[in-house]
Amino acid sequence: MSCIFCDIIEGNIKSERVYEDENCIIIKDIEPIAPIHYLMIPKKHYSKLEEASVSEAMELSFMLNKLGQMKKELGLEEGYRIIINQGKNAGQTVDHLHIHVLAGKELNWQV
Ligand code: AMP
Ligand code: ZN
* Residue 35 within any structural domain of the chain: yes
The CA R_g of the chain, rounded to the nearest whole Å, is 14
* Residue 100 within any structural domain of the chain: no
Q: What is the pLDDT of residue 1?
A: 78
Query: Which one, of 40, 47, 3, lies nearest residue 20 by Cα?
Result: 40
CATH of the domain at 50: 3.30.428.10
* Residue 106 within any structural domain of the chain: no
Q: Positive or negative, the Cα torsion across 66, 72, 73, 74?
A: positive
Q: Domain span at residue 68? A: 4-82
* Residue 93 within any structural domain of the chain: no
Q: How far apart are alpha carbons 14 and 7 in whole angstroms?
A: 9
| Ligand 2 centroid to residue 78 C-alpha, Å | 31
DSSP 49: G
Q: Is 96 a catalytic residue?
A: no
Residue with CA at minimum distance from ligand 1 atom 1: 92
Q: How far apart are alpha carbons 42 and 35 in whole angstroms?
A: 23
Q: How far apart are alpha carbons 45 and 5 in whole angstroms?
A: 8
* Residue 88 within any structural domain of the chain: no
Q: What is the pLDDT of residues 18-45, one digit of tens each?
A: 999 999 999 999 999 999 999 999 999 9
Residue with CA at minimum distance from ligand 1 atom 16: 30
Q: What is the pLDDT of residues 44-102, one digit of tens each?
A: 999 999 999 999 999 999 999 999 999 999 999 999 999 999 999 999 999 999 999 99
* Residue 109 within any structural domain of the chain: no
Task: Say how many domains are in the chain.
Answer: 1
* Residue 27 within any structural domain of the chain: yes
